[in-house]
Amino acid sequence: MTLTLDAPRFVETKPLLTARNLSKSYGDVQALRDVSATVYPGEVLGIVGESGSGKSTFLRCLNLEETPDAGSYSLDLPDVQGNLFDLDRYGRRMLCATRIGIVYQNPHLGLLMGHSSSGNVAERLLVAGERRFEVLRDKARNALDASEFPLDRMDAPPIELSGGMQQRVQLAKAIALEPALLLLDEPTTGLDVSVQALVLDTLKRLQQERRITMVIVSHDLGVIRTLSDRVMVMRRGAVVEEGLADQVFQDPQHSYTQQLVHAKL
Amino acid sequence: MTPQFNRDAPVLEVRSLSKGFTMHHLGAQMAAFDDISFQLRAGEFLLLKGRNGAGKSTLLRALYRSYLPGGGEILFHSSHGVIDLARAADVDVSLLRKTEMGFVTQFLTARPRVSAEALVAEPLRLSGVAQEDALEQARHWLDAFGVKRTLWAAYPTTFSGGEQQKVNLARALILPQRLLLLDEPTASLDASARAALIDRLSELKSRGTAMVGVFHHPGDVAQLIDSEIDLTPDVKSLEERENVVV
Ligand SMILES: Nc1ncnc2c1ncn2[C@@H]1O[C@H](COP(=O)(O)OP(=O)(O)OP(=O)(O)O)[C@@H](O)[C@H]1O
Ligand SMILES: Nc1ncnc2c1ncn2[C@@H]1O[C@H](COP(=O)(O)OP(=O)(O)OP(=O)(O)O)[C@@H](O)[C@H]1O
Ligand SMILES: [Mg+2]
Ligand SMILES: [Mg+2]
């Protein structure tokens, strides 16, 4: 039973992110089946679903680390045109460095664990072409500060830091260039509950103050509920349901979503 | 204060609204309500009645689109134009919730490290009011609902149930909206907070806010009520009361 809603009538801005019919297989495993998503500027889209349902694969596609077998992806930004999967490696790298930030569950994927934390953040700025040492240091400091990272530790390498602080370094790196799009893959999973709450609070604050458009994946429905405007539910590579966050949680339509929500209540 | 709105202007036209739940794990369907129709004009107050489980909360949530309506129409006359909330795009509903539709329940959603005054000021900030101005108004309403001054800058996560409820009301009622939905907002409030709530509701009403509400003790709001719907099955009837002038 899928009820189709009307197209937006009052919201006149165009979606920032439009992904259409992404499909991706790894051998026999179909990781994505016809996945489409639209995200408006300033909106937070939450993605939930069982393990192996394709959530991380979808985020890797949005971060242009992965190319789907079929489908298109566009961002409504000045100087950015067409299907982004058509970009070459250099084009992808520049777009990601300047417009897209990502935070992974595993900090090893996003950080050089032996380099200084400030260096990790500055590296992102270097890729984007900044060479002035003072500017690099200032911007790295500001981004770490905005991520509520303790500045007296900014020269420590992530390997020496707690999990919560490592996530803040990833976040600082992701927001250093004021990206149009922030992708978060299980940003609080594996952290202590109290640290989780603090990182979540930082994300909420950044979202409110900077109106950053976000796509966040988490198994923690509390995290999704706190941050998201809309929620998309995935199962076996496909989207089974999407809607306003409160509606998906309070009045889930699909049997899988009902299971998921009731299991957590 | 003279009302600057048109009393005849429709705000909400609900036509043959129905809602049921499919409970997949039971393989069962359950109807919550069926064929509800009513009209609400600016400044009108509709009371929902009915026994426990009659569907009062469900109807309010369907109007706010926290529940997906099954059938029928919810025509909302917004400042952008008329829209059917039963089918409107999620982003349009989000937009309207920010400035034109409010929902008041008994429960506060506190957030870690957000002060009471910031939480109350948030709806104003999101609608474009400057930070300082928003905070000042927030303090006014915290005071009006009887939240102690020492708590204004504190985090409500640690407040008592009653204190949280007052913060919740201040937040929910700070921004005058075209449509306000109320689900038992007076339950377990002390007498002075209850009086402050009734005062605020009649002020909003006189300024043109249309309201649909469920009240555990409807006597509290007797002077505000323009019409009633009883959702208890087989009692379905829309009684028009004498229009009470406030
Ligand atoms: N690089 C890869 N090579 C082979 N198979 C892959 C690869 N990446 C993902 N898969 C497979 O694709 C499917 C989707 O994986 P994905 O990591 O996107 O799931 P997920 O929803 O993020 O799961 P989780 O919640 O456990 O993180 C899985 O079956 C996975 O094994
Ligand atoms: N999300 C839901 N999923 C399934 N059934 C629901 C859901 N929400 C409400 N119901 C059912 O719908 C019926 C109406 O419930 P509702 O909460 O609207 O009643 P109410 O009139 O507000 O009752 P009360 O006076 O006790 O608050 C009940 O049988 C309830 O169990
Ligand atoms: Mg994953
Ligand atoms: Mg109820």
Tell me: the pLDDT tens digits for B117-164?
A: 999 999 998 888 999 999 999 999 999 999 999 999 999 988 988 899
Tell me, what's the pLDDT at B235?
61
Nearest-5° Cα angle at A88, A84 to A94? 75
Q: Residue B137, SS3?
A: helix
Judge whether A63 lies within some domain: yes
What value, to the nearest 5°, has the Cα angle with vertex A194 and ends A188 and A195? Answer: 45
Number of domains in chain B: 1
In a domain, A51, yes or no: yes
Q: What's the pLDDT score for residue A3?
A: 67
The whole domain housing A177 covers 41-264
pLDDT at position B145: 94
Is B92's CB within 8 Å of A1's CB? Answer: no
Provide ipTM, 2 decimals: 0.90
- Residue A30 forms part of a structural domain: no
Q: What is the predicted pLDDT for the residue at A190?
A: 79
Does B20 sit in the ligand 2 pocket, CB within 6 Å?
no
As a whole number, mean pLDDT of residues B166-181 equals 94
Q: Which of A253, A258, A259 sits opposite B68 (nearest CB)?
A: A253
Say if A22 falls within a structural domain.
no
CATH of the domain at A71: 3.40.50.300
**Which of A56, A59, A63 has most ligand 1 atoms within 8 Å of its beta carbon, as the pocket-test mutant?**
A56
| Sign of the dihedral defined by the CA atoms of residues B189, B190, B195, B197, in that order | negative
**What digits encode the pLDDT tens for the residues A181-222?**
999 999 988 788 888 888 888 888 888 888 899 999 999 999
Please give the DSSP secondary-structure letter assigned to residue B21. Answer: E
Average the pLDDT over each of A194-198, B204-208, B215-219 and give the range with the smallest value: A194-198
Q: CB of A106 closer than 6 A to ligand 1?
A: no
**Residues of chain A falling short of pLDDT 50:** 1
Chain B residues within 8 A of A251 when measuring between CB atoms: 21, 61, 66-68
Among B90, B111, B114, beta carbon nearest to A243 = B90
CA distance B175 to chain A (A): 19
Q: Give the whole-angstrom CA distance, residue B64 versus residue B60.
A: 6
Whether B2 maps to a domain, the answer reads no
**In B, which residues are within 8 Å of A11 by CB distance?**
89, 91-92, 95
pLDDT at B6 over 80: no
Distance of alpha carbon A99 from alpha carbon B108, whole angstroms: 36
Average pLDDT across chain B, whole number: 90
Q: What is the pLDDT of residue B4?
A: 58
User: What is the DSSP track for chain A?
Assistant: --PPPPPPSS--SPPSEEEEEEEEEETTEEEEEEEEEEE-TT-EEEEEE-TTSSHHHHHHHHTTSS--SEEEEEE-BTTB-S-GGGS-HHHHHHHHHHHEEEE-SSHHHHS-TTS-HHHHHHHHHHHTT---HHHHHHHHHHHHHHTT--GGGTTS-GGGS-HHHHHHHHHHHHHTT--SEEEEESTTTTS-HHHHHHHHHHHHHHHHHH--EEEEE-S-HHHHHHH-SEEEEEETTEEEEEEEHHHHHHS--SHHHHHHHHHH-
CATH no. for residue B121? 3.40.50.300
Q: Is the CB of residue A144 below 6 angstroms from any atom belonging to ligand 1?
A: no
* Number of residues assigned to chain A: 265
Which pLDDT score, from 0 to 100, does residue A25 have? 98
Protein residue with its CA nearest to atom 27 in ligand 1: A51
- How far does the centroid of ligand 2 lie from the alpha carbon of residue B68, in Å? 14
The domain containing residue B202 runs over which residues?
Answer: 10-242
- Does residue A33 form part of some domain? no
State phi, psi for A49 to the nearest 5 degrees.
160, 160
Please state the domain count of chain A.
1
B233, pLDDT greater than 90: no
Averaged pLDDT for residues B172-180? 95
Domain membership of residue A179 (yes or no) is yes
Given a contact cutoff of 8 angstroms between Cβ atoms, the answer to whether B36 and B16 are in contact is: yes
**Considering CB atoms only, which of B22, B25, B83 is closest to A9?**
B83
Give the pLDDT confidence score for residue B202 in this predicted structure. 96
- The sign one gets for the Cα dihedral B166, B169, B173, B174 is positive
Instruction: Indicate whether B220 pLDDT > 80.
Output: yes
Question: How far is the C-alpha of B119 from the C-alpha of B135, rounded, in Å?
Answer: 9
DSSP strands (E only) in chain B: 10-23, 28-41, 45-49, 71-78, 81-84, 101-104, 179-183, 210-214, 227-230, 238-240
The answer to whether residue B3 is domain-embedded is no
Find the mean pLDDT for residues B47-61.
Answer: 95
Query: How far is it, in rounded angstroms, from Cα A97 to Cα A128?
Result: 6
Residue B228, pLDDT score? 96
Asked if residue A6 is part of any domain, the answer here is: no
Confidence check: pLDDT of B22 > 80: yes
| Residue A2 pLDDT | 52
Does residue B178 lie in a domain region? yes
B216 band by pLDDT with thresholds 50, 70 and 90: confident
Q: What is the pLDDT of residues A48-70, one digit of tens each?
A: 999 999 999 999 999 999 999 99
User: Which residues does A18 contact at the CB level (< 8 Å), separation at least 6?
Assistant: A37, A38, A73, A74, A75, A76
Asked if A247's CB is within 8 angstroms of B67's CB, the reply is: yes
Chain B residues 65-104 within an 8 A CB cutoff of chain A = 65-68, 78, 80-81, 83-84, 87-96
All residues of chain A having their beta carbon less than 8 Å from the beta carbon of residue B61 are 250-251
Split at pLDDT 50, 70, 90, the class of B3 is: very low
Q: Is A4 exposed, middle or buried (0-12, 13-18, 19+ CB in 10 A)?
A: exposed
Asked if A255's CB is within 8 angstroms of B66's CB, the reply is no
